[in-house]
């Protein structure tokens, strides 16, 4: 029996996954475009010769016997898709979700507390928050003196024989491990995509603590780019490590703007459920209303903020609300942008002034960088630290420690609170199902 891949069917599947070109598909697979072209040619057979001979004897129906190993069930039971049953595609309205009890959360890479505050609001009890940066750790202690803030290098924690239990009670059952480790690549030569292959990365230490505390669920918040980092191989390795530890996972890129945050901020959310738990997880449903800057920047308390240089201020003063470098006179734009003026792409973040009727672009850790300006809609200046906090949906009662540069960095790196709360409530909905 000769078989080929149906190009029309492949294109249909690509469309469902949001993959627009064969080049993009090849990158996601970790192969070259030429290798993919060979696979889709009429001379390529996706079935090994012995299987082809088997089909010649038993007929085409033999192909129905091919199932993924991790989904293969007993022939005595009807075939079911376990993964789809555990992770229904329909999003859940979390507005009425209430925790049945206080669930324990352990947070790594806690930063200034955006996610920690969101977890608290959703009904979690933080039993420990690991953060290496002194100013961020001081922010956590300032706002929640009773929290167990662990101002320590996570590599030292995992190197200690007691591990995380040097800092939290060993009798404490962890319902959720959360955190957003920096995205770092791995070397794949001769690797088997196991935990040891990720040594030297902060993901390794997240996974080591996951292995130690064995929580019911875990949450990873990370940049959108992790989904395509190194052609998807980095994330694939992480997921394989989680699977080897006994967890089923699902991930999705979500935009904070869809969840009550006046900011376009796309983040990858990865959720894991321990294999022994018969529970489901659904991502939160998007809000009907998407806020804009006018909604969140009313009566903002006074606070310090960076200022533009006189030269930059003179340029940005010529940009209208909602505009960017293309709204400048050509000679001004060319001089201001330098070599970037002749590069490709829209570069819409350069010389950018926001408007009241739109959300902020993703806040950076420094508000006056040349490539990523976020100029105030009316005044020719960056947002103040308190305006930064409002955009990230921190309450005015949440105060930040450290100098102005550190505060901008803490807020820019934080999980937007309203966004984090919806994610936390969606997890609460799953934990409520545990008997």
pLDDT at 26: 65
Mean pLDDT by 10 residues, the chain (435 residues): 75 78 72 61 64 65 57 36 78 96 97 98 97 98 98 97 96 96 71 81 95 98 92 91 96 98 97 97 97 97 94 94 92 87 73 95 87 90 97 98 97 97 98 93
Same domain membership, residue 139 and residue 16: no
Same domain membership, residue 242 and residue 308: no
Same domain membership, residue 238 and residue 150: yes
Q: What total of structural domains would you count in the chain?
A: 3
Same domain membership, residue 393 and residue 323: yes
Domain boundary among 66, 84, 103: 66
pLDDT at 344: 65
pLDDT at 385: 97
Same domain membership, residue 357 and residue 323: yes
Same domain membership, residue 420 and residue 408: no
pLDDT tens for 320-362 read 999 998 999 999 988 988 888 877 666 777 889 999 999 999 9
CATH number of the domain that residue 326 is part of = 3.90.120
pLDDT at 369: 76
Same domain membership, residue 177 and residue 113: yes
pLDDT at 193: 76
The answer to whether residue 77 sits within a structural domain is no
Q: Which domain holds residue 47?
A: 7-66
Same domain membership, residue 153 and residue 51: no
Same domain membership, residue 274 and residue 173: yes
Residue 172 among the catalytic residues: no
Same domain membership, residue 210 and residue 107: yes
The answer to whether residue 139 sits within a structural domain is yes
pLDDT at 434: 94
The answer to whether residue 78 sits within a structural domain is no
pLDDT at 308: 93
CATH number of the domain that residue 244 is part of = 3.40.50.150
Taking the C-alpha atoms of residue 87 and residue 281, their distance in angstroms, rounded to an integer, is: 5
The answer to whether residue 85 sits within a structural domain is no
The answer to whether residue 167 sits within a structural domain is yes
The answer to whether residue 2 sits within a structural domain is no
The answer to whether residue 349 sits within a structural domain is yes
pLDDT at 72: 34
Catalytic residue among 117, 183, 296, 416: 183
Same domain membership, residue 241 and residue 120: yes
Domain boundary among 66, 83, 115: 66
The answer to whether residue 1 sits within a structural domain is no
Same domain membership, residue 274 and residue 135: yes
């Amino acid at each position: 029996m000769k078989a080929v891949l149906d190009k029309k069917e492949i294109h249909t599947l690509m469309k469902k996954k949001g993959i627009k070109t064969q080049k993009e598909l090849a990158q996601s697979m970790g192969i070259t475009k030429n290798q993919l072209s060979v696979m889709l040619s009429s001379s390529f057979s996706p079935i090994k010769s012995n299987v082809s001979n088997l089909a010649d004897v038993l007929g085409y129906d033999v192909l129905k016997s091919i199932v993924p190993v991790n989904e293969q069930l007993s022939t005595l039971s009807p075939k079911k898709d376990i993964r789809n049953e555990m992770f229904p595609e329909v999003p859940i309205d979390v507005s009425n979700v209430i925790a049945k009890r206080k669930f324990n959360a352990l947070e790594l890479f806690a930063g200034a507390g955006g996610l920690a505050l969101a977890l608290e609001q959703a009904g979690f009890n933080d039993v420990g928050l690991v953060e290496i940066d002194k100013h961020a750790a001081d922010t956590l202690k300032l706002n929640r003196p009773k929290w167990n803030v662990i101002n320590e290098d996570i590599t030292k924690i995992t190197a200690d024989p007691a591990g995380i239990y040097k800092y939290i009670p060993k009798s404490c059952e962890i319902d959720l491990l959360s955190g957003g480790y920096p995205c770092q690549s791995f070397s794949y030569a001769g690797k088997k995509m196991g935990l040891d292959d990720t040594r030297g990365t902060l993901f390794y230490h997240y996974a080591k603590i996951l292995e130690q505390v064995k929580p019911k669920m875990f949450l990873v918040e990370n940049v959108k780019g992790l989904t395509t980092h190194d052609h998807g191989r980095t994330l694939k390795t992480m997921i394989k490590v989680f699977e080897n530890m006994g967890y089923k996972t699902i991930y999705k890129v979500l935009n904070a703007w869809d969840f009550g945050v006046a900011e376009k901020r796309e983040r990858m959310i990865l959720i894991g459920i321990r294999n022994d738990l018969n529970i489901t997880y659904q991502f939160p449903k998007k809000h009907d209303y998407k806020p804009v800057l006018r909604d969140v920047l009313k009566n903002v308390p006074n606070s310090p903020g960076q200022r533009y240089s006189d030269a930059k201020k003179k340029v940005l003063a010529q940009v209208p609300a909602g505009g960017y470098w293309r709204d400048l006179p050509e000679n001004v734009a060319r001089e201001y942008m330098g070599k970037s003026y002749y590069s490709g792409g829209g570069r819409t973040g350069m010389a950018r002034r926001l408007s009241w009727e739109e959300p902020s672009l993703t806040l950076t850790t420094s508000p006056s960088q040349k490539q990523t300006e976020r100029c105030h809609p009316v005044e020719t200046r960056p947002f103040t630290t308190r305006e930064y906090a409002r955009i990230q949906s921190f309450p005015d009662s949440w105060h930040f420690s450290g100098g102005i540069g550190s505060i901008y960095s803490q807020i820019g790196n934080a999980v937007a609170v309203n966004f984090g709360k919806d994610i936390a409530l969606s997890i609460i909905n799953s934990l409520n199902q545990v008997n």
